[in-house]
Chains A and B, each alone.
Chain A
Amino acid sequence: MADVVHPVHGEVHRHPAPTNFIRKYIFSTDHKVIGIQYWCLALFAVFVGMALSLLMRLQLGWPGQEWGFLKTLFPNAAENGTISGELYLSLLTMHGTIMVFFVLTTAPQGGFGNYFLPIQIGADDMAFPVLNMLSFWITFVALVVLLSAFFVTDANMINVIGPIGGWTGYAPLSALGERAGPGQGTGVLLWITSIALFCVASLLGALNFITTMLNMRARGLSLMRLPLTCWAWFTTAILALLSFPVLLAAGILLLLDHLAGTSFFIPGGEYVSGQLVKEHAGGSPILWQHLFWFFGHPEVYIAILPGMGLTSHLLSTFSRKPVFGYRAMVYALFAIGLLGFFVWGHHMFISGMSPYSAIAFSLVTLTIGVPSAIKTFNWLGTLWGGQIRFTTPMLFAIGFVSLFVSGGITGLFLGQTSIDIPLHDTYFVVGHFHLIMGVAAIFGMFAGTYFWFPKMFGKMMNEGLGKIHFIITFIGVNAIFIPFHVMGMAGAPRRYASHGNLEYARSVMPLSRFISWVAFVTIAGQLIFLVNLIWSWIKGPKASANPWEATSLEWTIPSPPPHDNFAGILPDVHRGPYEFSVPGASTDYLMQTDPESAEEHGH
């Protein structure tokens, strides 16, 4: 290997590592440090979001129950220790916003993508390192702004914990300020500001990802030799690039409705909280839905595509087999991304849209099932006949496939206009998107963490704890979210603080309480993950350069990698990333840099 590397114009260390603490760990331009910063931010955010869901589960399982600790936690919003309707709604809004933006969008792309895209393409950093640093810090400020909504008080100095309109922030209630409910004034302003900042940060990130992948690949690394993870990050970046500006536009319009007295989203004659809205007229609440969902649907894929890429990568690596249908996987990724831009209307079937439009949206939506099925069958094809190594990352990747199937199939129900009408705004929808967008994507992140932790921190994670974590989480999420579908079919509406006082939905109460219990156990199970992380980071056994016997470029360099990744010597790539069990090869895997390959292909 040493005889084929080419020095880059004689310089060995193009970027000397910064020595002072602030430039090295805080305002760092090193994509690896930024990746870890994103990952830590997402880890923090996911625990905040999970804590909020814990409070919601308390309310849903035991509506109206007094909880002493809530009095200290929310002295105003929960003065009796019970969760009021408004408090419940703000818990829900903050849970959704934190999870969607600061976990699902942040960790897979900003975290793992930042860390591993440059290494997997054989580059020494991102194309625009300073921009990369900016995009992380803008994300950080966005999170701080969002969390500050917890501490907002309304005009009567009553502490509310943020906006109450849900993560979709539907107009006009999100545009009318305080009179639409506590938290809808300052709380919503903070929410919009946070999201606008997040849009800007994501755009800078997407710009960086696309340019890096197009311009900085190592010699010999043609597009069809890229790991599927890179393709997934690239497709995700394109989706982000084209969808976040639309959310930004919607955010700007909403902000103007709040602050400048315009009426983009507020129709005339609104009667809210006993008051007639006189100063606005003519706006279109449906416009908000169109703009929001034009972003919102691609956002679902922004969350899950990196997980798909990683799953393909892991299933191949741990089955010791090439990925089944590499090109089909790449084209399917693109097809999912492309179609994702033409289906936003399926979130709005009951908004009064023309049934003809609804049928068009429905058809395109169901069409996404085709590339999704291609991916699923190719995953199964990759597993078939493989010598499967059931490591923790592999278990999570298999779990991803399982959740992708359950979440995807329920999508086929909701994608049909006639079935969507009774199921709309019920727990069926909540179950569906938690399975596919929430938990499947989270499984991708867990898989990524267990797989890449050795590379990122130079230590192995504990396999035993990892497997216990997997079993608890896998059973837990299914036991939580599959009953959601049952509740939905029974008609239980989403966003209600309690189902106990709905005559027809009262029968779901025992199920709801069961879900709460499972949720507590599953959340406790995540502490095992946290312990594993911290313990492994401090005391874990040292990781070798390639502990998983994987083939892509990040495994050719030490764990953790040096500051400029390849120590100034950019790699030469001779083969694709999934050359496992190649007949006649001396090992059951061939690294991408392995020159042996070039000769074989000549035969």
Chain B
Amino acid sequence: MPSTLTTDIGIKPGVGGGEFGSGDGGKFGSGPSDSKDWPPGWSSEDAAEPEKYRIGMWVALASILMLFVALTSAYIVRGVPALGGGPDDWLPIDMPSVLWLNTAVLLASSVTIELARRALKKNEYERFKSWISLTTLLGLAFLGGQLMAWRQLAAQGVFINSHPHSSFFYLLTSLHGLHLLGGVIALGFVTVAAFRMRIGFKRRAAVQVTAIYWHFMDGLWIYLFGLLFFFR
């Protein structure tokens, strides 16, 4: 190994790194900060990889956020009476009761993914495996629950074109569901990798990044749930 190795990010290998934006000097590669002690065979390149996934994830979340910001503004303009807008064709739908359960399931999954992340940080593989699998199952359960909510509404004769509130309900839940499905697929990959004992440095980054995404999707759901049923 040449002795000139340097890193331009301030994270240690094996730990997975400080949180994005925690203010480590030179985090964004603004200059050389001299080498941490890399284990043999490791280099700054390997450490730069997880960092780039983390930055990439936050950037992606900004754009997902803008998508829902735009739809929120449409929701307000299109005529939420509670927010003082719109023509008088607004007819709020009854909340499918299963949504409370779904919300609880998704909140629980946020807890389990956090437990999984921390278990991995402490290198407790067995606990990591069970928590990450549980998270995947809870994610699937949430998606199943959302389908049930749709069926409950459809049974009442409420469809996407029934009236504006139902349009927004179906649209927002399906867009959120699609994004969450992406998260479930990522979790599936991580879970399979965990059971095949292939949690290397890069996959640790995958767990980190998936956890960030998952928490965001959880928060987004709470927001959409509140928007759809408490501002109608």
Q: Which residues of A contact B (CB under 8 A)?
A: 6-10, 14, 127-128, 203, 206-208, 210-211, 214-217, 219-223, 241-246, 248-250, 252-253, 256, 260-264, 267-268, 281-284, 286-287, 290-291, 294
Does B25 sit at the interface, judged by CB under 8 A? no
Chain A: which residue is nearest B66 at the CB level?
A: A245
Which of the residues B51, B66, B79, B87 comes within 8 Å of A242, measured between beta carbons? Answer: B66
Does B164 sit at the interface, judged by CB under 8 A? yes
Q: Which residues of B contact A (CB under 8 A)?
A: 1-2, 4-6, 8-9, 28-32, 43-45, 48, 51-52, 55-56, 59-60, 62-64, 66-67, 69-71, 73-74, 77-79, 86-87, 89, 160-161, 164, 167, 171, 175
Is the pair B4, A253 in contact by a Cβ cutoff of 8 Å? Answer: no
Q: Besides A8-B45, A215-B28, A216-B52, 11 other CB < 8 A contacts?
A: A8-B44, A207-B56, A211-B59, A216-B48, A220-B31, A220-B32, A245-B64, A246-B66, A246-B67, A262-B167, A264-B78
Which chain A positions have C-beta within 8 A of B59? 206-207, 210-211, 241
Which chain A positions have C-beta within 8 A of B52? 127-128, 211, 215-216
A-B contact pairs, 27 of them (CB 8 A): A6-B4, A8-B43, A8-B44, A9-B2, A9-B44, A9-B45, A127-B55, A128-B56, A203-B63, A211-B52, A215-B48, A215-B52, A216-B48, A222-B31, A242-B63, A242-B66, A245-B67, A246-B69, A248-B67, A248-B70, A249-B74, A256-B160, A260-B167, A282-B78, A287-B77, A291-B70, A291-B74
- Separation in Å of the B27 CB from the closest CB of chain A? 9
A217 to B48, CA, bound (A): 11
Chain B interface, >50% SS class? helix
Is the pair B64, A252 in contact by a Cβ cutoff of 8 Å? Answer: no
Which chain B positions have C-beta within 8 A of A252? 171, 175
Which chain B positions have C-beta within 8 A of A261? 160-161
Which of the residues A6, A262, A281 comes within 8 Å of B89, measured between beta carbons? Answer: A281
A455 to B215, CA, bound (A): 45
Chain B: which residue is nearest A244 at the CB level?
A: B63
- Separation in Å of the B75 CB from the closest CB of chain A? 10
Is the pair B1, A219 in contact by a Cβ cutoff of 8 Å? Answer: no
Of residues A208, A261, A262, which shows the largest number of chain B Cβ atoms within 10 Å of its Cβ? A262
A127 to B43, CA, bound (A): 17
| A215-B28, A256-B160 known; A290-B62 Cβ under 8 A | no
A261 to B9, CA, bound (A): 51
A406 to B161, CA, bound (A): 48
- Separation in Å of the A225 CB from the closest CB of chain B? 10
Which chain A positions have C-beta within 8 A of B74? 249, 253, 264, 287, 291
Which chain B positions have C-beta within 8 A of A8? 43-45
A268 to B89, CA, bound (A): 10
Chain B: which residue is nearest A219 at the CB level?
A: B32
| A207-B63, A294-B70 known; A262-B161 Cβ under 8 A | yes
Which of the residues B44, B77, B171 comes within 8 Å of A290, measured between beta carbons? Answer: B77
A127 to B28, CA, bound (A): 13
Which chain A positions have C-beta within 8 A of B66? 241-243, 245-246
Is the pair A242, B62 in contact by a Cβ cutoff of 8 Å? Answer: yes
- Separation in Å of the B132 CB from the closest CB of chain A? 24
A277 to B64, CA, bound (A): 34
Is the pair B29, A216 in contact by a Cβ cutoff of 8 Å? Answer: yes
Is the pair A249, B70 in contact by a Cβ cutoff of 8 Å? Answer: yes
Chain B: which residue is nearest A223 at the CB level?
A: B30
* Leading 8 A-B pairs by shortest Cβ distance: A261-B161, A249-B70, A9-B43, A245-B66, A245-B67, A282-B89, A246-B70, A262-B167
